[in-house]
Amino acid sequence: MRLLVTGATGFVGSRLVPALLEAGHEVYALTRDATGYEGPDEARVVEGNVLDPETYKSALAEVDAAYYLIHSMGSGTDFAERDRRAAHNFVRATEGTDLDRMIYLGGLGEEQERLSKHLQSRREVESILAEGTYDLTTLRAAIVIGAGSQSFEMIRQLTDRLPVMITPKWVRTECQPIAISDVVTYLVGVLDVSETAGETFEIGGPEVLSYQVMLERTGEILDRRLFVLPVPVLSPKISAYWVDLVTDVPKSVAHPLILGLENRVVVEDHRIEQLLAFERTPFDLAVKQALGTEHEPPIEHIAARAQSEAEQATAGAERAKAGPERTESEPERAESGSERAEPDVGPGSEPEPRPGR
């Protein structure tokens, strides 16, 4: 299949492109600067900007499906407006093409809650992308653990640099972090499972943890003794400025992330785990892989795992459509394949009389 990956040089896209190539797809990698592309040579590099559809419209006309991995949070306080414009432009650029599928990586969060601006923007982009004529598959994730993740980098630097943390009560909020290798497995796998077309799924790792527990366990892995003291009077907004002083994470990224920590982000819809039922990465192992003390699964393994799960899901769907199989033990089955045969009685013999006669 011919695929366009936006954000191909980003945290997720740089891992997704080689996995899709390994799975046998032809990949067009969209990046703002082709000279800075360091991905696989097999990918077709497309230099373009999502805010200018003319720069990538010709590539969209050649592909069967697209991955939308654009998020402008690092571009300043107007990230929501930039994301809105980019999504509208992308949808308009697909008009008149043969694009069948689009896959979007969005943000996890309960619908009834008052979402942060960061999560509101993710949902708005999701709604805009759903206006296209293709089938949209959305995967909603919470914190993604991996080298290059701004969310994880904030956790790492806080635990590495502060032995004592006075935090707002948001540290007790529950979250379901997921390893980057598992995210890529889902992104590759859903492409080949027809049941995922036009659907929204929630993805997460195998553990639900509070942010405090994530900080403490990351500290243990870093061999840092950490003391966390939650206090009710410290607001997330004040905490965001405090994070500025302690970490190297850009303010434009750290502030929306911190303000979003008040939202509980836990998987409630587990349907995807039935379709792609692979063993997900525990939090501690994901952290070690992000720190480089453990190796991330090879791209070949991720691609093979995704393909295997997709094939099993497809086979299961086909069996379900065919209906239950008849077995030899079913009373309707006869040796001849028609009506059930009566017991054979030898020549000259009489069948035993029935009781009561």
- What is the per-residue pLDDT across 234-277, written as a single tens digit (0 to 9) for each? 666 677 777 777 888 777 677 777 777 778 899 999 999 999 99
**pLDDT for 74:** 52
Query: Which residues are registered as beta bridge partners of 22?
Result: none
Domains and CATH numbers, the chain: 2-306 (3.40.50.720)
Q: Give the separation between CA 178 and CA 158, rounded to whole angstroms.
A: 19
Which residue ranges of the chain lie beneath pLDDT 70? 72-77, 111-113, 233-237, 252, 324-357
Q: Residue 270: what pLDDT?
A: 97
Instruction: Tell me the per-residue pLDDT of 159-174, one tens digit each, with 9 for 90 and over.
Output: 888 888 877 777 889 9
pLDDT at 112: 56
Count other C-beta atoms under 10 Å from residue 349's C-beta: 7
Cβ atoms of residues 94 and 60 within 8 Å: yes
Q: What is the pTM of this model?
A: 0.86
How far does Cα 181 stand from its chain's mean position?
10
Contact indicator for 345, 351 with CB cutoff of 8 Å: yes
Apex CA 276: angle with CA 271 and CA 277, to 5°?
90
Instruction: Give the Cα-Cα-Cα angle 38, 40, 43 (nearest 5 degrees).
Output: 110
